[in-house]
Structure 1
């Protein structure tokens, strides 16, 4: 239950607002709006009462697709705890790499102990984990809070700058990147499983040793030193290790061919753009990658008349799509053209599209209200560092140039306060495919589900995730009020159709997508284990009825439960991922 010190929230929130106002003055002009009224009245930080619903009024709507012949029904569950170590921060290295405090709301983390804005493949792989089976993957979601109006106490905020600075240093150094092997293996016979897993672990060890040698010999030798002294010997070791796996499989099944093509590795810089081939050595994005950043338009619009809202929303979504497409073109054309290529081939055409789109919004508003002036100044975009875009799970196109505030000593942020609720139960389960077998995810694959900014991005990527225990066949985009004996629950299903090449993409979505309603992946995509995260909370029934619990969100979302989302980065060793795949494909129930 929330603590009660007898102080009304107005004093606490006034303190938060004062801090933000001071930041605004120091930064030279962040807009701050204030509301004055009776201290006994509800503050603007509460969720809208209309956003709550009795779960019994929600019709059953959550049916699994029918299993086709050959469907895989196995599950692999990982025990990573409930964030007992109180790992919180307002970062999101999946959707907003390199932007500290960019989420503007607090995330709950389990798994990887180093997850922060500057996390990259190297820092993630070197970190510890809360997962009992050694899985170093990062799993994180917005916290849920109870807000009764009292001065609720939270665990004190832990400084994140040390971890961030270490991750930033890792991101600045080159690493050895090798093709992922586990995702290229055929179905492994039980008789070969132990030997294959031993050799997958050996491949990871070989990369670790090569990266350590890369650091210890920095500056030594001539221009071919790294190739001759590190990459060449590493390739030879990998050829032998991969061949042992092929022989082991070939004893009782068809021997896989062509795996030796996965032996050569390369030296890569950490700061990628997101379109890299799947690798297990650190070539994926995770540092401050260059992306196109554009001024935010939604925040500059006047009050939109009801008659214009649909057209304005369509065009705001189109602006997001245009940025995503431009970032994808930035990835696919990397290294092409001369010094003005990006400006002439990407930024210039993007500006022209934005001018037309913004003008359509102004005309729509102007039909029944004053036509807004000067919006065309928001059309030009530029190439920035690591900003993401407005479609990246709510990141506003990297437009926020000034430092964003971190959590205060009570782990509260502007417009996100109240007592943090640790989940009573966290379920992390990888599931099969209704259409057939699954293949391994590549190491360092990034994935997300939901959309943190539906007010700007629209509902295309949002997913109803709220329910109550015992009512999992009913999902709602509102906060559920559960019957006595039932608990509040969030169910986050992740996309599970991988393009077979990339561990990330410019919008962090197109490289891994959801299957169709029948559970099938589209052409060019492969089914990988589907991650499902379930979160159960002990929210007292009277708190539910009084509508006093809420999820952290971007301030613009005002705790809309439709903004709920979840993020994941796969940092499993190849042998653990191989265990996941084989458990699922053999229709077993495994717990690690």
Structure 2
């Protein structure tokens, strides 16, 4: 438990030293301008932010081959959001306890099934009815809005104005050492760990950076020079066991390749999904990703989910583009 007033003052100082001006990094559960006001600190902490210029270059995420296919699905202009997760907590409302942005399938919610998704509409081109989703990013602190007391919202500690991504890139990439095979229809995958702040980093895959600095990635919130866009880079596993479309942990049927890009024995390479989400954020340490309440909005908890509902013909096109080294 820390005083919000102290955090607010520190946030302004940090923002000023790194990016000019900014708001403090805290949830607006009380008015820090009131002398002596104390509130529960739900994060994020100032140490969760870093000037991107202090991150050394070198890390660019999962290695990939030359070929790629980009599914164009918009950036959730229609405001499709809920706090569900049909992959991890099926048949439950507010199973995520934080709000997700969706693109692709228009019907995705906690009660979605393979059959309902196959019958749903989509925001994607070429009949890609896949479900793509991730926790929203919010502007936080004084003057950014307190959010709404809806499932996954203020009552869960997720407050502030939801930021609509300025761009969403959904790219399926090749493997650097082998050809890929088609993903099976209804393959379900997750990347990252929504509870990494308490579980530890074994399954964490958070990757943050700024436009113009994509040769470096960090697991902290980046403070970008001159208010440049913040990027979230979410790489999915791409080595499939050849049999299952899901598993008990949602992790063992599709795993990540090794450091050289090769898939482990007993698995085969499939197109590797990379989501790149770009945001215009307020200056300074004044934004955060939605999270479970106990995760304190730690940037390491960033994660995303995907279910493949592409028509078989479209998936064949993806595989052909990737294996031929084309950019489609």
TM-score range, shorter chain: 0.7 to 0.9
User: C-alpha separation between the residues in 1 aligned to 2:92 and 2:277?
Assistant: 27
Question: Is 1:478–2:239 an aligned residue pair?
Answer: no
Determine helix, strand or coil for the equivalent of 1:133.
helix
Task: Give 1:137's match in structure 2, choosing from 130, 142, 145.
Answer: 130
The answer on whether the counterparts of 1:65 and 1:434 sit within 8 Å (CA) in structure 2 is no
Name the residue aligned to 1:49. 46
Which residue in the other structure is 1:495 paired with?
237
For 1:40 and 1:516, the matched residues in 2 are separated by 50
* Distance change >3 Å, CA 66–CA 412, structure 1 → 2: closer
Query: Where do 5+ consecutive residues of structure 1 fail to align?
Result: 1-9, 15-36, 158-404
- Please, which of 58, 63, 68 is the counterpart of residue 61 of structure 1? 58
Residue aligning to 1:308:
none
3-state DSSP class of the match of 1:141?
A: strand
Q: Shift of residue 40 of structure 1?
A: 5.6
Question: 1:38: how far off?
Answer: 4.7
Partner of 2:272: 530
1:84 to 51, 57, 77: 77
| Structure whose CA Rg is larger | 1
Aligned pair partner of 2:92 in 88, 91, 99? 99
Q: CA deviation at 1:539?
A: 1.0
Matches within 5 A, 1:193-232: none
Is the CA contact (8 Å cut-off) linking 1:96 and 1:102 kept in structure 2? yes
Residue of structure 2 aligned with 1:552, choices 285, 290, 312: 290
Q: 1:107 to 1:494 in 2, by over 3 A?
A: same
- Counterpart position of 1:382: none
Partner deviation per Cα, 1:2-28 (whole Å, 9 max, x = no partner): xxxxxxxx9x847xxxxxxxxxxxxxx
Residues 1:581 and 2:319 are matched in the alignment: yes
Q: Does 1:507 align with 2:249?
A: yes
Query: 1: distance between equivalents of 2:123 and 2:63?
Result: 35
Normalised TM-score (structure 2): 0.86
Provide the TM-score with structure 1 as the length reference. Answer: 0.48
Q: Which secondary structure state, in structure 2, belongs to the residue aligned with residue 125 of structure 1?
A: helix
Instruction: Classify 1:412/1:485 alpha carbon distance in 2 versus 1 (closer, same or farther; 3 Å).
Output: closer
1:97 offset after TM fit, Å?
Answer: 1.5
The Cα RMSD (Å) is 2.3
Deviations 1:38-71 (A, max 9, x none): 576676244111111001111113146778xxxx
User: Which residue in 2 is equivalent to 1:126?
Assistant: 119
**Deviation (angstroms), 1:133:** 2.1
Give yes or no for the alignment of 1:406 onto 2:151.
yes
Total equivalences in the alignment: 300
1:121-180 deviation digits (Å, cap 9, x = unpaired): 0111111001122100000001000012236176x89xxxxxxxxxxxxxxxxxxxxxxx
The CA distance in 2 between the partners of 1:13 and 1:100, in whole Å, is 24
Q: Cα gap change, 1:565/1:66 in structure 2, threshold over 3 Å: closer, same or farther?
A: closer
Distance 1:480 1:65 in 2: 20
Sort the Cα spacing of 1:574 and 1:554 in 2 relative to 1 into closer, same or farther, 3 A: same
